[in-house]
Every structure is written in C-alpha cells, then in structure tokens.
Amino acid sequence: MRSLWRAVDPVTARSILVVCAADGIVGFAFAAITVGADLPLWLPTLLSIVVFAGASQFLLVGVIASGGSLLAAVAAGLLVNARLLPLGLAVGDAVGRGTWRTLIGSHVLTDESAAFALIQPSGERRRAAFWLCGIALFLFWNVGVVAGALVGTTIPDTDALGLDAAFPAIILALVLPTLRSARIGRAVAVGVAIALVTAPFLPAGVPVLLALLGVVVGLPPRRASTPATPALEPSGSPE
C-alpha cells in the first residue's frame, strides 16, 4: 500500500482517501439498515466481502426486506452491476496481466476505482490509482459494514435516523450522471413510470426488472438505408 501511495500524486491520494471515507459511512448505513430489517447479522458482512458492490447490495437487501423473492433480488443486483462490464474493459491495462491480478482486480473494480484510474495520464500512475482506490475502498467499506452491523443491533428503529434514504440516494447518484441527452432521459422516465405503476401489484423486485423495458425507448433510431444513386448512362457522341 505504501508504494501505491507514493506512485500517485498527493491530490489524487487525498481524493481517494475522502471518497473511501465517504463510502465507509455508506457501508455503515447499509449494514445498519440490513440488521434493522431483522435480517441476520452475518448477511451484510458476507455480502460486502463476496459481492462488494454497494448499489447491488442495497438493492438485494431492499427487495428481500420488502418480501421479494431471492431470485428477483439477485437478478436486480446483477442488472445494476452490469454497468461494470464496460468499465472493466476500459481499465484493463490498469489491472495488469495474470490470473490473480485479473480475479482480484475484477473484484475491487468499482465506479470509483475505474474513475480514478481513467483520469491518470500514464500507465504506471493509472495502475497505482486503480489498485490504491480498489484496495482502500474494500477496507473502508468492510470496516464501515462491520461497525454498522454492530451498531444496528442496538438501534431499535433505524428508519428514525433516516438511514433508509441511503439506498434511493445511491441509485439516484448512479443515474444522474447519465442523464445527458433527451433519449436517455426518456428511457429513464419510461422505466420509472413502469416501476411505479406495477409496484402495487407485483412482488418486490419484479417492477425493477420490468423497468428495463424503458431501454427500448432509449435505443438509437434505426437509420433508413439510403437508396443507391443509379449510374447515369453515358450519352452518345454527336454525329
């Protein structure tokens, strides 16, 4: 870790530290909400170690706590995490080569670690930023989760602290940066409308999956094929 700190500039190192500390607080809220929903104490810790994806963890716990099925919760979590596939391709050079590097790098890949890596100018600094943010975030997040789980057992009503607002706030934070065009805005609006209309009638988690129909609205329009211009027949030579 010390060599990673030295490989990045001080401004980037401080920014990574601030982001990791903030995510640790979110991890604290996640664990407190999970335990406060009468779910087992070990669940938030296990999810944070094995899954390590904040938005997916919030979504999975939210669906289960609302009475939804485990299948719907897992499917919704996988869909949220699908955004990491293009990020993984973008920071492949920062992860490095080798089986263990690929496995561990894929596990600590987050929006934050990818973002800090992509803004670095050189390969060495990019690798250092990715691994420093990924490892530090894993440590901060899990420490926050353990603390939140322990504190959550002593709080009779976690909703009274407003911790339940952390989940929608995180999802909103993920969505807002993508609303840069009218096409994406329409897709999000249709998805939200579908989820709101179907939520009172369908099991928890299913409206989230149906909201993906909004993606159809956001697909780029199909371009009509341009008919080929017929070749002009050469005119005959005047006599």
Sign of CA dihedral 32, 34, 37, 38: negative
Residue 133 shares a structural domain with residue 210: no
User: Is 239 a residue whose pLDDT tops 50?
Assistant: no
Q: Residues 5-50: pLDDT tens digits?
A: 666 778 888 888 888 888 888 888 888 888 877 888 888 899 899 8
Structural domain for 50, as ranges? 2-163
User: Is 230 a residue whose pLDDT tops 80?
Assistant: no
pLDDT band at 137 (very low <50, low <70, confident <90, very high): very high
Q: Region 79-100: what's the mean pLDDT?
A: 81
Residue 156 shares a structural domain with residue 183: no
Residue 115 shares a structural domain with residue 212: no
Flag whether 172 is in a domain.
no
How many structural domains compose the chain? 2
Q: Report the amino acid identity of residue 104.
A: I
The token pair at 6 is 């030295």
C-alpha–C-alpha distance, residues 35 and 164, integer Å: 12
Flag whether 168 is in a domain.
no
pLDDT band at 140 (very low <50, low <70, confident <90, very high): very high
Q: Which of 163, 193, 208 is where one domain is finished?
A: 163
The token pair at 204 is 């928890």
User: Is 213 a residue whose pLDDT tops 50?
Assistant: yes
Q: Which of 163, 198, 232 is where one domain is finished?
A: 163
Residue 158 shares a structural domain with residue 184: no
Residue 196 shares a structural domain with residue 124: no
Mean pLDDT, the chain, whole residue set: 76
Between 220 and 87, residue with greater pLDDT: 87
Strands (E), 115-209: none
